[in-house]
Amino acid sequence: MEIQTITTTPFDDQRPGTSGLRKKVKVFQTPHYLANFVQSIFNVLEDYQGKTLVVGGDGRYYNREALQIILKMAAANGFGKVMVGRGGILSTPAASCVIRKYQTFGGIILSASHNPGGPDDDFGIKYNTANGGPAPEKITEAIYQQSREITQYLIVEAADMDLDTIGEQQLGDMRVEIIDPVSDYADMMEQLFDFDAMRSLLSSGSFSMRFDAMNAVTGPYAQEILETRLGAAAGTVLRGEPLPDFGGAHPDPNLAHAKELVATMTGADAPDFGAASDGDGDRNMILGRDFYVTPSDSLALLAANAALVPGYAEGLAGVARSMPTSQAIDRVAAALGIECYETPTGWKFFGNLLDAGRITLCGEESFGTGSDHVREKDGLWAVLFWLNILAVRKQPVADIVHEHWKQYGRDVYTRHDYEGVSADGASALMEQLRERTGGLGGQSFGDYTVELADDFSYTDSVDNSVSSKQGIRILFDNGARIVYRLSGTGTEGATLRVYIEQPETDADRLEHDPQETLAELISLSATIAEIEKFTGRTAPDVIT
């Protein structure tokens, strides 16, 4: 095996965000760019010689080429074995499953999640540790510092590997095992859920569903589980073939980007249950006939109905939500007598709580939900959880949600996204809000009086690490909230997210449209932050 030492110079833009490093494909195709970042990962890791690494991705454009580089660098750096999903495919939750099942050293996941794919669009890479979850901030920060100092990287000179044939190959002194990307994950789902009950529901003749894989990574997983193992009708899985450009679509499972599914779920003859997942399989959208379930409500409903699902029937240790996620789950936790943790956005913050056994379910308002079965959010898992609940309760989705609101109350909630705005303008907006938080307490705006305004800071209850500047919160004395946060998942400009929430317990108002119920708060959110002044936008690009 001939190991080459390649001289390189640092790039100054390789700081990982909340979900790894994301840039345009053309940036990653810049000579040495990907290799620099991969070597920076290896330079930070310790005692991995001879151990096993898991590698795979969502199949987007540049996935295969990047995998070949990573394999050759892993061999040069002394890994003993790499496990790769056939065709370079591994959904993000499946990668976590494989890391945990085979107790590997860690894994590298190639994905830009819900971002568009194609030669002119997005690519991403992140490192997951031995627990199967995203690397914590101390590791990602160390990787970034390495990327600013790197002068060389190691790579073997060898022909490209065959990624499409299951079995073992040799790359220098390193074994490369091509694995079925679906089987381990599907087996785990069969252990968690009541497949007999779901199989009976799907074969009853009175129930139908549609799952939109959005030409992304979950297609093969959904086809194997829903159509093969559970016996759903052929065609239940829509857009099931993973494509490098996702068929030209935006693989983000929300009302704006899954319009075809939303249209399918509308009308008297619509299916009973609809769902979608995103580019790398870690997000989900849940729909009933003529009914949309917000991610915040979905998390609360899963917790409230967990006793109906075999894998969670013994009870929940606790639950957690990201700070911008609605407080619907808090109500359920209080009723169940369990702890509810509030963390910053980013799945890595749930990892310590999961590893410590303090929580069982967790989720974010950005269409991500998960549990202690892996250390990533898991889109298809959430769909199966819902399907299990429907199989037991035998009620329409809308009826289940309405009964939940009547029992626990409703947190009327919306998120407004201002996408691709000037990074400087968005930063200035956040900075002026940050400077004003101390003076907002006690101020009244129409019917709303500010009880507290702050910049959310989080102290991890397991390792005592502190994460500051996690979003501006304005809390009102009637329980309403406005939260402002810059997203870390985009690759162009900045995305300002504004989260607006108001509790509602009046039975006559529980089913009102959120945009109408929250109209005054929505207007107030734009006024307080001077959104038009700093971004030039008079309305959000996406409302969910």
pLDDT tier, 491 (very low <50, low <70, confident <90, very high otherwise): low
Select from 124, 158, 181 the last residue of a domain. 181
CA triplet 335, 373, 226: central angle to 5 degrees?
100
Dist. CA 446–CA 413, nearest whole Å: 19
Q: To the nearest 10°, the Cα dihedral for 224, 229, 230, 231?
A: 90
pLDDT at 490: 56
pLDDT at 488: 60
HSE-CB of 32 using CA atoms within 13 angstroms = 16
List pLDDT tens digits, range 26-75. 999 999 999 999 999 999 999 999 999 999 999 999 999 999 999 999 99
pLDDT tier, 137 (very low <50, low <70, confident <90, very high otherwise): confident
Contacts of 278 (CB under 8 A, 6+ apart): 113, 114, 214, 216, 251, 252, 253, 284, 367, 379
Dist. CA 537–CA 235, nearest whole Å: 41
**Element containing residue 293 per DSSP (H, E):** strand 291-293
pLDDT at 498: 97
Same-domain pairing of 324 and 468 = no
Specify the CATH number for the domain of residue 397. 3.40.120.10
Per-residue pLDDT at 465 exceeds 70? yes
List pLDDT tens digits, range 265-282. 999 999 999 999 999 999
Same-domain pairing of 99 and 163 = yes
Same-domain pairing of 210 and 357 = yes
HSE-CB of 498 using CA atoms within 13 angstroms = 28
Contacts of 26 (CB under 8 A, 6+ apart): 119, 120
Dist. CA 287–CA 273, nearest whole Å: 6
Share of residues in the chain with pLDDT > 90 (%): 90
Beta bridge partners of 56: 109
Q: Are 454 and 469 in contact (CB under 8 A)?
A: no
Q: Are 378 and 501 in contact (CB under 8 A)?
A: no
Same-domain pairing of 229 and 131 = no
Specify the CATH number for the domain of residue 538. 3.30.310.50
Dist. CA 466–CA 80, nearest whole Å: 36
pLDDT at 509: 85
Per-residue pLDDT at 489 exceeds 90? no
Dist. CA 281–CA 270, nearest whole Å: 25
Same-domain pairing of 147 and 202 = no
Same-domain pairing of 394 and 427 = no
Same-domain pairing of 118 and 207 = no
Q: Are 415 and 405 in contact (CB under 8 A)?
A: no
DSSP string covering 409-462? -EEEEEEEEEEEE-HHHHHHHHHHHHHHHHHHTT-EETTEEEEEEEE--EE-TT
pLDDT at 348: 83
More confidently predicted of 188 and 490: 188
Number of domains present in the structure of the chain: 3
pLDDT at 506: 82
Amino acid found at 494: A
Contacts of 27 (CB under 8 A, 6+ apart): 33, 123
Same-domain pairing of 291 and 390 = yes
Whole domain around residue 208: which residue ranges? 185-408
Select from 181, 205, 222 the last residue of a domain. 181
SS3 171: strand
Handedness of CA 439, 444, 450, 453 (dihedral sign): negative
Same-domain pairing of 387 and 418 = no
Beta bridge partners of 6: 153
Q: Count the Cβ atoms, other than its own, within 10 Å of residue 18.
A: 19
Same-domain pairing of 434 and 384 = no
This prediction has a pTM of: 0.94
**Element containing residue 286 per DSSP (H, E):** strand 284-288
Average pLDDT of the chain to the nearest whole number:
95
- Token digits of residue 278: 């995103």
Closest CA to 112 of 163, 180, 58: 58
pLDDT tier, 234 (very low <50, low <70, confident <90, very high otherwise): very high
Same-domain pairing of 205 and 225 = yes
Dist. CA 206–CA 322, nearest whole Å: 37
- Token digits of residue 387: 């399907």
pLDDT tier, 252 (very low <50, low <70, confident <90, very high otherwise): very high
Select from 390, 408, 426 the last residue of a domain. 408
Burial of 441 (0-12, 13-18, 19+ CB in 10 A): middle
HSE-CB of 367 using CA atoms within 13 angstroms = 28
Same-domain pairing of 94 and 125 = yes
Dist. CA 234–CA 223, nearest whole Å: 9
Dist. CA 200–CA 169, nearest whole Å: 42
List pLDDT tens digits, range 393-452. 999 999 999 999 999 999 999 999 999 999 999 999 999 999 999 899 999 999 999 999
Catalytic positions are 113
- Kindly report the three-state secondary structure assignment for every residue of 69-109: HHHHHHHHCCCCEEEEEEEEECCHHHHHHHHHHCCCCEEEE
pLDDT at 487: 83
End-to-end CA distance of the chain: 53
Dist. CA 284–CA 276, nearest whole Å: 5
Dist. CA 232–CA 240, nearest whole Å: 14
Contacts of 291 (CB under 8 A, 6+ apart): 265, 396, 397, 398, 401
Closest CA to 417 of 539, 501, 249, 327: 539
Contacts of 275 (CB under 8 A, 6+ apart): 209, 210, 211, 212, 284, 285, 286, 287, 382, 383, 386
